[in-house]
Each structure stands twice: as structure tokens, then as C-alpha cells.
Chain A
Amino acid sequence: MTGTAIPLRVGWRGRPATLLASLVPFALLLAAWQAMALSGAFPAQVMVPPATVAATLLRLASDGELARHVGDSLSRLLLGYAAGALAGLAFGATLALSRWVEAAFAPLFHTLWQVPVIAFVPVLILFLGIDEGFKITVVAVAAFFPIALAAFDAIRGVPAGFFEVARVYRTRLPDLIRRILIPATVPAVLVGLRIGIIRAWVVLVAAELLAADSGIGQMMEMGRQMFQIDVVLAGVLVSGVIGFALDRAARAVEARATRWQRA
């Protein structure tokens, strides 16, 4: 349920030849894009050539607009994510440790989990308005569910045998938690945290598309309304790059924290 997939190998392991090899597909894509734009099959305002998008990106970066939008989006992401992650971890752990709580809340949790967060947006706008509170809440909700699920699965997944060994060795509670529970649950929880932040980013961009006064999603929506497709494409690029960076960072944290597993 948490999608513990081994990532596709992208790293270059320090060898220039492989680094170059991994850039080839992008170069090919750019070339194909440029060719499509020049061929005239699509009108210029629709199939914007890469050069124009690059120029727009530079312009937005130099007049500070890009920095403003990215800054706003990222601050909302971090605040909402922190809130959602804490709540998710607490909720998931409680659910895993108490059958009563699980029986009471699991059905509701699973039902709400099925509704795409974006479907909640119109309702949330009604309740919370459209300023920062709304956006941070949306992000928190998006992060909450996968993280809660991961925490629940992780704790439930600790084999009963571990506890028996602890009893045999008469391990005290703090040591039990520190030396057995945490290492046993950290890997799965970290995967959940990573999925949570990616989900949160995607949902944030979508919420900004619908209602905001700044942010990457809003930049793209304005671009669409003003029929400046190069701005839309620039936004797509930037949001993709940020998503990529977040994913990489999360994986790096995961790799460091679980390096004892692969020793």
C-alpha cells in the first residue's frame, strides 16, 4: 500500500560517460520539441519553442517574480507538510497501538482516504476562504493520509518475534523503543514521508491553480488566462524541477537513515 518501489537507477556514480548518457534523452526531447515548434504544425502560440520558454524563465527569474512565486509555494508546502506529517504520524501510531481506536476510526479514515483531496477544495474554500490558512490545510490533508498509513503499516509490521526477544533479554522500555521499534519502523515511515511530500506538492499546485494570489500554480493559471502559454510551460518546468528536487532529497535522507540495513 505504501509503494516500496526500488527507484530507477538515475545516478551516474561519478563516471562522466554515464552522466552524459543520462542527459542524452533530455537532449533528444529538446530537439524533438524544437523541431515540432519550427515545423509549423501547431501555431506558434500553442507549441511554444524551447527557446521562448527559456527566455520567459530568464525574464521571470530576473525580475524577481519567479522567486516570489516559488517562495510562497514552498513556504506553504513546508508549513502544511510539517502539520500534516506530525498529525499523520501521531494518528497512524495510535491506530496501530490500540485496537479500540483502530476499530473506531479506521472505517472513517479509509472512506475519507478515497476522496481525492482536490474534490475537497471547493468545500474547503467555503469553510476556510482562500488565504494562507486554506492552502496550508489542503497541503496538510494531502500529506496526512499517506503518512498515517505508513506509520500504521510500519508499526503493525514489527514482527511479534522482536518483542519476544526483547522479553527474553529483559529489555527495558526506553531501550526497546530506541533499539528495536524505531529501527524496525523507520524505513517504512520514511517511504511514507517521501510519498507524503510529493503528494503535498502536487496538491498544492492544484489548489493554487484554483484559488490563490501567488504561487507557482497561480503563475500558471494567470499565464493560461492571459494566453501566455510560455509562462504556463515555464511553470510546468519549474514545478517539475522542484518536485524532482524534493524527491531526490527525500530519497537521500532515506538512504542515509537506512544505510545500516544494507551494510
Chain B
Amino acid sequence: MDDNTINAHAPAGLTRRAATRTLAGLLAGGLAACHGGSKGTTVNLASIAYPYQGKQIFNSLTGIIQRDGWLKSELEKRGASLAFTPVPTAVGAPLINEGFSGKRIDFASYGDFPAIIAVAGGVPLKLVAPLGQGQDVYLLVGKNVAAKSITDLKGKRIALHRGRPWELPFAKLLDSHGLSFSDFTIVNINPSATPAALASGAVDATVLLADALLEEQKGIGRIIWSTRQAPSDWKMRAELFARGGFVDEHPDLTQLVVSAYVRAAAWSAQDANREQVIKDAARGLTPENIVRKEYAEATYPWRERFSPFFRPDVRSHYASVAEYAVARGLVRRKVDAAALLDDRFVTKALQDQHLQGFWSSGAVA
């Protein structure tokens, strides 16, 4: 196809290998889309989706964008189209990383750790819009397990889906008690298989997000620790990431997408829409009462839950994630966290929508 598809990482002296290049180019052409300007570009947004009434749906800001239609029409004005990639939660972030790597996905609203894994693995990404204050991570033990803290679980079996964002708070917990992963038997199963494993006693404990609250409610286990008892920057974070190549080639379209997220965040932040937001969040796997419980226990004002500000604590969170991942041998290279964060688009979006004072620019939690 055209030369844009063979990316700039090719070594010099490539012109000698004309034959392999043609062959590879033919293959790559089948893979990549043409990037000649905005016209005909498809912007692909990915996010974790949950099963609801037979479909996979987004139940957060991405869902609002999908429903709202603003982004779609703005893109169409520029001759581009919008596509969504729902990622089943059973598979999770690895699919998103593969999509970024294969240039099939341009934006994804997903977690901190998988994004660092991707960048460390050589996939260029940019954090273009932080989304909120992070989520709590919980350590749940089976109901017949007599453990009160992580040290009691030494030598036991813990279900942890690897490479997901909640692995890092767990790793920090271990560190703070002088433990390491090898002090336990870590079983790598996805969150959907975990409740059955816990209920049957196949594992003694598990690390989960808010679905842990649901399992506790069902009587399958007890929460013995959560990031609420830890420094606030231990929480896992999920934000809007963009493919580095896309940002470079289409800053205008990137701006549109970021603006759409800021719009959705501003909408959600209003108290008037609070009920709707809760109802949306309850579609999928977490029932409404759990959603309300989690929201009620937040220590910050409602609107800050959706803040897209590049606050200092966001910056330091990513610095520590990058540091931590390489120190623990979870990734092989140190990621430059400062280069990862790109605040141009959010700044402009806030200006355009006159929201400069709407959210706090300092830490709130």
C-alpha cells in the first residue's frame, strides 16, 4: 500500500531488500488502514464492555459518548467515521494492547498497568485524558478462610488475573508487609471464573474491583483489605489513552475525542444527572445497590469523580506505576511517565467548553 503503512522503525539500508519489502508491504497493507488525511479515517474507540440483556455495553463515559452522538456528528463533518470496540471483561486489556499494537484501535479507556505494559513492550501510547479519581481494589477471602490480613494468607492460593490494573495495588500491599508473589500460589484466572473458584474453595482469596462487594454481599467471601485503608495513590486508575501514531497524524481528531470525553464528564458531574449515571453504571455485572454503596463511601465531592484534570497526583501516580513495574520485574523497560502524559487536548477542551474552574486542579482525595 502506501508508505505510511511501513512504519518509521525500519532500519536504514532497507532499500536493498526490495523483494522482502514488497512482500511485507502487501501483508501490511492488508493490516493497516490508509492514513491519508482525515477523509475516510475511522476512529476506533475501545473500552471494557459488560454483558447486559444479551449485548455487550459500555456503562461509563464511553457509553455516554455512544449515546450522545455528538462525537459521531463532529467526526462526520470532517469526513471521518466512528467505530466502537467493546472488549469483554473476561479477556480484558490484553485485547486492547493487541489492538493498539496492530493499529486497529485508536483510543481506549482502560487501566494504568496494562497501558504501562504496552508502552514498555514498545507500543507508543499517550495518556490524553485522565478520568476521575481511580477505583478501589479489594482483597476478598473465602468465607471459610480464617485470615484477617495478608500475612495470614501466606502460602495460600490467591486468584489474581495478571496484567490487570488491580495487580499493582496488590503488589504494593505485599511490599508493605515484606512479602512477595512467591510467598503465595498465584492463580491466574479471569474475574468471571473467580467467584466459583472462591466458593468451591479452589482458591483461598482473590483480588478484585467493586465486584468484590457483590461477592461479599452474596456471602461467598469477606473483604479483609481495600485500597481505602491505603494511601490514596494506591488506587488503580483508568483513563483515556490514545495510540501515539494516531495522535501525531490526526491531532484534530484527537482533540475531538478528548473534547467528547470532557463533555461526557461534565454531564456526569452534574448532580442533576447523578441518578442516571448510577443507573448506567448498574447495567452489567454490578447491581445498583453495590454501585450506590461504592459511590456513597467516596471521600470527595460527586463532580470530582469525573475530573479530567492532569492533577499532580495523576502525574505522580504514573511515575510510581512506571517505577514500580520495572522494579518488580513485571515489565522489562522503564517507561518515561512524563512523556506518556499529554495535556494539550484536555487544556483546550476545558477552554472551549468554559470549564476551567469546574474541577479542582489539586488533589482532592
Contact = CB atoms under 8 A, between A and B. Distances in A.
- CB atoms of A and B under 8 A apart anywhere in the complex? yes
Interface of A: 35-36, 38-46, 122, 125-126, 128-131, 134, 210-213, 218, 221-222, 224-229
Given A131-B202, A210-B193, A225-B163, 20 more contacts: A35-B17, A38-B11, A39-B14, A40-B24, A44-B122, A45-B101, A45-B123, A128-B200, A129-B201, A129-B203, A130-B193, A211-B197, A213-B157, A218-B188, A225-B94, A226-B121, A226-B163, A226-B331, A227-B114, A229-B121
B145 interface: no
A35 B20 contact: yes
Contacts of B14: 39-40
Contacts, number: 117
A54 B25 CA distance: 26
A40 B10 contact: yes
Nearest to B21: A39
Contact of B9 (A43, A227, A229): A43
B28 A227 contact: no
B162 interface: yes
B197 A130 contact: yes
B40 interface: no
Contacts of B186: 213
Contacts of B331: 226
B185 interface: yes
22 contacts: A36-B20, A38-B20, A40-B11, A41-B5, A41-B6, A43-B9, A45-B122, A130-B187, A210-B190, A210-B193, A211-B197, A212-B187, A213-B157, A213-B187, A222-B188, A224-B94, A225-B188, A226-B121, A226-B162, A226-B163, A227-B101, A227-B163
Contact of B188 (A36, A38, A129, A213): A213
A46 B102 contact: yes
B118 interface: yes
B285 interface: no
Interface in B42-56: none
Q: Considering residues B21, B24, B161, B331, which has the most beta carbons from chain A within 10 angstroms of its beta carbon? A: B24
A135 to B, nearest CB: 11
Contacts of A224: 94
Nearest to A229: B121
Contact of B7 (A43, A128, A131, A225): A43
Contacts of B101: 43, 45-46, 227
A41 B27 contact: yes
Nearest to A34: B20
A174 to B, nearest CB: 47
B196 A125 contact: yes
Interface in B188-243: 188-190, 193, 196-197, 200-203
Contacts of B102: 46
Contacts of B117: 225-227
Nearest to A131: B202
A221 B188 contact: yes
Contact of B193 (A39, A211, A218, A228): A211
A229 B120 CA distance: 12
B163 A125 contact: no
B118 A130 contact: no
A221 B92 CA distance: 12
Q: Considering residues B102, B121, B161, which has the most beta carbons from chain A within 10 angstroms of its beta carbon? A: B121
Closest 8 CB pairs of A and B: A129-B202, A40-B10, A225-B163, A41-B24, A227-B121, A39-B24, A45-B122, A41-B28
Interface in B258-292: none
Q: Considering residues A134, A212, A213, A218, which has the most beta carbons from chain B within 10 angstroms of its beta carbon? A: A213
A218 B23 CA distance: 34
A239 B186 CA distance: 23
B185 to A, nearest CB: 6
A168 B312 CA distance: 96
B355 interface: no
Contacts of A225: 93-94, 117, 161-164, 188
B327 interface: no
B94 A39 contact: no
Q: Considering residues A46, A128, A227, which has the most beta carbons from chain B within 10 angstroms of its beta carbon? A: A227
A39 B7 contact: no
Contacts of B94: 224-225, 227
A40 B201 contact: no
Contact of B162 (A45, A130, A222): A222
B7 A226 contact: no
B254 interface: no
A137 to B, nearest CB: 13
Contacts of A229: 121
A42 B34 CA distance: 15
A43 B123 contact: yes
A43 B122 contact: yes
A228 B114 CA distance: 12
B97 interface: yes
B330 interface: yes
A39 B162 contact: no
B11 A227 contact: no
Contacts of A42: 24, 28, 31
B142 to A, nearest CB: 11
